[in-house]
Amino acid sequence: MSGGLVPLLLKALNGGLIVTLFAVVGQVAQPKRFAGIFSAAPTIALANLTVVVLTVGTTDLRTYAIGMTVGAAGFLAYALGCQRLLDRFGSLPGSAASFVLWFAVALPGYWLVTR
């Protein structure tokens, strides 16, 4: 079952490893604007979907991916808004405050898809 303790831990471990790997690729990429595309890599998707396939099969894969398209719209809002907030507040508060933008787009999008 997808919510069991072992799959949860595997997803967390997988997520940590894949994010670290892509972050290193982003670190060596130049210029910084090009490196940024690696900050929008589907790391969490790869980490989670691999474990989902291994533990419960492909049944929910399509539904996960539909949800991901909505989340991607939220990601765009995050990245666009974060540029402004970085200038105003600096990276840590700015990037933290930008999560509000992700939720502001992703949650109404989720509501629309589930209607």
Partner 1 sequence: MTEREHVGFDWSKVGDTTPRDAAVRFGFGAGVSLGAALAGARFGALAGGLFLAFPAILPATLTLVEEHESTRQARRDCRGAAAGVPGLAAFALVVILVPDSPWISLPLATAAWLVTAVVSYLLWRRVREAFGLDERPLSDRHHHPPHRPPREVGTGFT
Binding mask 61-100 for partner 1 (x = CB under 8 A): xxxxxxxxxxxx-xxx-xxx-xx--xxx-xxx-xxx-xx-
Tokens describing residue 74: 């939220």
108 binds partner 1 (CB under 8 A): no
Give me the long-range contacts of 13-16 (CB less than 8 A, separation at least 24): 14/46, 14/47, 14/48, 14/50, 14/51, 15/43, 15/44, 15/47, 15/48
Shortest distance (Å) from residue 105 CB to partner 1: 10
Residue choice 6, 8, 100, 108 for contact with partner 1 (CB under 8 A): 8
Least CB distance to partner 1 at residue 11 (A): 4
Q: Which of residues 29-68 bind partner 1 (CB under 8 A)?
A: 29-53, 58, 60-68
Q: Give min distance, CB of 27 to partner 1, in A.
A: 6
